[in-house]
Amino acid sequence: MTGWEPVVGLEIHIQLKTQTKMFCRCENVWGEGPNTRTCPVCLAHPGTLPVPNGRAIEWAVKLGLALGCEVAERSVFHRKNYFYPDLPKGYQISQYDEPLCTAGRFAVPGSGGDHEIGIVRAHLEEDAAKTVHVGGKAGRISGAAHSLVDFNRGGTPLVEIVTEPDLHSPEEARRFLQLLRQTVVELGISDAEMEKGSLRCDANVSVRREGEEGLRTKTELKNMNSFKFVGDGIAAEVARQIEVYESGGEVGQETLHFDPASGRISSLRSKEEAHDYRYFPEPDLVPVEPPAALVERMRAEIGELPAARIRRLEGELDFDLSYGLVASGRDELYERVPGERRAVANVVMNQLAATGAHPGRVNAEELGKLIEARDRIPRATFDEALTAAGEPGFTAERYLAEEAVTDASELDPVIERVLAANGSQVAAYRSGKEGLLGFFVGQVMRETQGKANPKVVNERLRERLGA
Amino acid sequence: MIDTLRLTAEDAAGLLKRKEVSSEELTRAYRASIAERDPELHAYLHVTESADGDGVPIALKDVITTKGVPTTAASRILEGYVPVFDSTVAACCKDAGLPLLGKTNLDEFAMGSSTENSGFGPTRNPWDPERVPGGSSGGSAAAVAGGLAPWALGSDTGGSIKQPASLCGLVGLRPTYGTVSRYGIVAFASSLDQVGPLTKTVRDSALLMQVISGADPRDSTTVELPQPIELPEAEDLRGLRIGIPRELNEAEGMEPGVKQSVDAAIRLAEELGAEVGETRLPRSVEFGLACYYLIAPAEASANLARYDGVRFGHRAQVDGDLTELYERTRWEGFGDEPKRRIMLGTYALSAGYYEAYYGQAQKVRTVIKDEFAAAFRDFDLLVSPTSPTVAFRLGEKAENPLAMYLSDVLTIPPNMAGLPGLSIPCGLSEGLPVGLQLIGPQFSENALFRAGHALERAFAFDYVPERLR
Ligand SMILES: [Zn+2]
């Protein structure tokens, strides 16, 4: 990879969790029985007409503002024409040259400062229905015995976000997407779950020589359905392109599919088969002209954005911890819990997360007390308390009453037993493998069922082994 | 004995109100007329067996979606389709208690000017069954003119209400775009389609407009009329400034008899007190038709994409793949004219051609709007023939699409500008009705009705076809 620079732009689809669909008043809900949320409009019966969902327009404006976009005073819906059974009208109502939001900048904080990703546009459109191919291989249409269409998803509202090709590594793309997801979730406009398809990501990938100006031919990598696959897929495609160039070949413009199981990239269609979507303004709808008051109301509803919070928390924590807290949505709890900041951050980010306790349900005051006492009370007690921390009515009190064993007269016999049972490790430690200290501490903690004070055990062991 | 040929909807409503006749008796009388004359005229595609309502029965063009009653747009591709919902106008008619007599014939998907393009055979003109009733709302026009319905609704994209009204000696209103809901109207060209009444009198037209007009939350392009529709009473035209656009009155292919009738009508308007003057619409007439034949097919090419055999209507029997299903279904289901327009429209929207065709046509449309707006600075209404010819013979233009397209050369320009237009019969030429087109600014329906009513009284045109009197 040396000498080459990846150039990546993302196209992201976010399904808005409005109560009803984009252009009809069918319920917008995931996971119901097939074709139970349909009406003449979203089934494209003759004569039916779209009526825009006002809430979806508001939320798209809100998202645009959070992405630093300009909100258009006048925006137009277009028809994007193509034939497929998941598209009952034979066209998708989308936006083309007059999108709702344009020219944004979205800051992704990094350890070396902010990286600004340009947002070309964010526009509103309706989702297609879901096609299920039965029989044949791997759910593809070719060779399928028959295909079924579930129109529940058809016509649900989507915001499509297109970034500039400002991302220069798979890791950067993954981070951007994570932070974008967190932003969307905090705005309360989407579940943005990649597994459910309420957040979808395509990537436009090219590579160029380091220092090279201009862009080379890009390929489009379709529908990677987890953050990991976004990173893996882009990495695989970047590697493939570099190999093509280094072996003297040319990269062709095509649409690709990443198979996470094999890690392989396969071609979906080449440029020659590209659609002519014959966009034209949707005559059934009037232009969207969001009033200034609405835009200001949406702006006022946006809280402190994740990127800003990461930078703020960096003042008291290191970058990785503050990024981790914010990107995982745990920083809100972190900020509520009193106590020494690093300790609180570590517990909230790692140990509490491991228990599966929902951060929103944790009593911050009580958790603070627990963290403050964590060196004093037995480790087992602390872990038990953390597991219970998310339960309603949780108090730290009864756990705080327990004291860890610090008394040398109680600990020393256990230490002797552990050393006697692990003679070869003792010899190894003494010959320089000091990393084994943790092993001995772990053994002592286990022997005492977690009741020993690890700090004291540590000291005693060091003293004993050093002798 | 109810004289279905002569009875106006207003008179029928009077009979109902005075309980001299019941709605059922009225409906029965029209059904009897249908049984007698429809085998010859073929105005209906579907006649209902029973219908609810205590008002004056009505016939609806078969692009108007009716719950539980087949709606085909005269296309084989919609054969067997029975809607699960009512269009807003059908619901309005139900709410007003108007029993549904049936669904009337049209050019397939409202694409045509003679009703010969129906997938289920042509409709004939009650004045002369050898001639066409005009189109695309030919079935509705023939039904009303032939006494098979007291009134009917049609739809007008390039002239599909006004032109058949003209050819059948009726009153036809194309309302201001956006004043009548399009929800449930099988779409042809969305930015032009508009439903309106076909009636024997101007007052009937106003009565029906009261039933169907108004903003509809299901159609984002609708608006409320600034003033409610009033029943016209005027007997003169004092104070009215009528403009005669030269290009609309001297169009190519204008029959001398049509020109004479319209000239006589204009003189009569002056006698009724109107100030008449000449005006010009050069670009609207020169480019209107070409512009229309880019925009309408472009929109149609998308509107007709939903007929794919997957969810409703005709589905071809194929062994092959999805593409073959699409191709065979659409090949079998659509007639020549929809195919022609889908191809035209697809081409006009294609990459590399969009700006030159569709984009340019939209710009010309703005020019047309501006030209009409300028004319309305000097005049309250504009007047011209509705159609350059009287009803032509079946088959006369069927092999020449371009000649057929010229039938709408006078109605298309105001339609492109979204303007309302009223066609009223103003006389006969060669024993066939001639229509006078009154064009007003947006939302001038009341002014059109007032002028139309005064002229109608002065013309004293007998709307019952001579051979049926
Ligand atoms: Zn729906």
pLDDT at A23 over 80: yes
Percent of chain B whose pLDDT exceeds 90: 91
The reply to whether A189 and A156 lie within a common domain is yes
How far off is chain B from A255, nearest CA to CA, in Å? 20
Residue A144, chain B, CB below 8 Å: the answer is no
Of the spans A32-41, A190-199, B56-65, which averages the highest pLDDT? B56-65
pLDDT of residue A180: 94
Residue A135, chain B, CB below 8 Å: the answer is no
pLDDT at A71 over 90: yes
pLDDT of residue A139: 55
pLDDT of residue A395: 75
pLDDT of residue A225: 83
The boundaries of the domain holding residue A201 are 4-299
The reply to whether A290 and A337 lie within a common domain is no
pLDDT of residue B340: 94
pLDDT of residue A303: 86
pLDDT at A397 over 80: no
Distance A43 CA to ligand 1 centre (A): 7
Structural domain contains residue A142: yes
Domain limits of chain B?
A: 9-282+366-468
pLDDT at B215 over 70: yes
pLDDT tens-digit readout, B261-292: 999 999 999 999 999 999 999 999 999 999 99
A1 confidence band (pLDDT: 50, 70, 90)? low
A141 confidence band (pLDDT: 50, 70, 90)? low
A253 confidence band (pLDDT: 50, 70, 90)? confident
Structural domain contains residue A88: yes
Q: How many domains does chain A have?
A: 3
pLDDT tens-digit readout, B223-242: 999 999 999 998 899 999 99
Structural domain contains residue A322: no
Say whether B61 is catalytic.
yes
Decide which of A358, A384, A400 is a domain's last residue.
Answer: A400
pLDDT of residue B130: 97
The reply to whether A176 and A68 lie within a common domain is yes
Q: Higher-confidence residue: A392 or A117?
A: A117
The reply to whether A427 and A394 lie within a common domain is no
pLDDT tens-digit readout, A166-186: 999 888 898 899 899 999 999
pLDDT of residue A307: 86
Decide which of A400, A423, A438 is a domain's last residue.
Answer: A400
pLDDT tens-digit readout, A455-467: 788 888 888 877 5
pLDDT at A57 over 90: yes
Structural domain contains residue A118: yes
pLDDT at A56 over 70: yes
Percent of chain A whose pLDDT exceeds 70: 94
The reply to whether A155 and A87 lie within a common domain is yes
Query: B73 contacts in A (CB within 8 Å)?
Result: 46
Query: B322 contacts in A (CB within 8 Å)?
Result: 85, 141, 147
Q: What sign does the CA torsion over B15, B19, B25, B27 have?
A: positive
The mean-pLDDT minimum among A378-382, A416-420, B169-173 falls in A378-382
pLDDT of residue A380: 73
Q: Which fold has domain B9-282+366-468?
A: Amidase signature (AS) enzymes (3.90.1300)
How would you write chain A as a 3-class SS string?
CCCEEEEEEEEEEEECCCCECCCCCCECCCCCCCCCCCCCCCCCCCCCCCCCCHHHHHHHHHHHHHCCCEECCCECEEEEECCCCCCCCCEEEEECCCCCEEEEEEEEEECCEEEEEEEEEEEEEECCCEEEEECCCCCCCCCCCEEEEECCCCCCEEEEEEECCCECCHHHHHHHHHHHHHHHHHHCCCCCCCCCCCEEEEEEEEEEECCCCCCCCCEEEECCCCHHHHHHHHHHHHHHHHHHHHCCCCCCCEEEEEECCCCEEEEEEEHHHCCCCCCEECCCCCCECCCHHHHHHHHHHCCCCHHHHHHHHCCCCCHHHHHHHHHCCCHHHHHHCCCCHHHHHHHHHHHHHHHCCCHHHCCHHHHHHHHHCCCCCCHHHHHHHHHHCCCCCCCCHHHHCCCCECCHHHHHHHHHHHHHHCHHHHHHHHCCCHHHHHHHHHHHHHHCCCCECHHHHHHHHHHHHHC
A256 confidence band (pLDDT: 50, 70, 90)? confident
pLDDT tens-digit readout, A428-446: 888 888 788 888 888 888 8
Looking at every residue in chain A, the average pLDDT score rounds to: 86
pLDDT at A411 over 70: yes
Structural domain contains residue A257: yes
How many interchain CB pairs under 8 A, A with B? 103
Contact yes or no for A45 and B87 at CB 8 A? no
Percent of chain A whose pLDDT exceeds 90: 39
The reply to whether A223 and A276 lie within a common domain is yes
Structural domain contains residue A148: yes
pLDDT of residue A144: 67
The reply to whether A370 and A422 lie within a common domain is no
Say whether B261 is catalytic.
no
pLDDT of residue A49: 98
The reply to whether A53 and A185 lie within a common domain is yes
Selection from B63, B442, B440, B421 nearest residue B224 by Cα: B442
Residue A47, chain B, CB below 8 Å: the answer is yes
pLDDT at A272 over 60: no
Distance B306 CA to ligand 1 centre (A): 15
Contact yes or no for B346 and A50 at CB 8 A? no
Structural domain contains residue A212: yes
pLDDT of residue B278: 96
A381 confidence band (pLDDT: 50, 70, 90)? confident
Q: Higher-confidence residue: A188 or A249?
A: A188
Residue B180, chain A, CB below 8 Å: the answer is no
pLDDT of residue B171: 98
Looking at every residue in chain B, the average pLDDT score rounds to: 95
The reply to whether A383 and A441 lie within a common domain is no
* pTM score: 0.88
The reply to whether A132 and A266 lie within a common domain is yes
Structural domain contains residue A304: no
How would you write A101-130 as a 3-class SS string?
EEEEEEEEEECCEEEEEEEEEEEEEECCCE
pLDDT tens-digit readout, B3-58: 999 999 999 999 999 999 999 999 999 999 999 999 999 999 999 998 899 999 99
Say whether B213 is catalytic.
no
Q: Higher-confidence residue: A334 or A372?
A: A334
The reply to whether A452 and A382 lie within a common domain is no
Catalytic residue among B118, B140, B160, B387: B160
The reply to whether A294 and A342 lie within a common domain is no
ipTM of predicted complex: 0.94
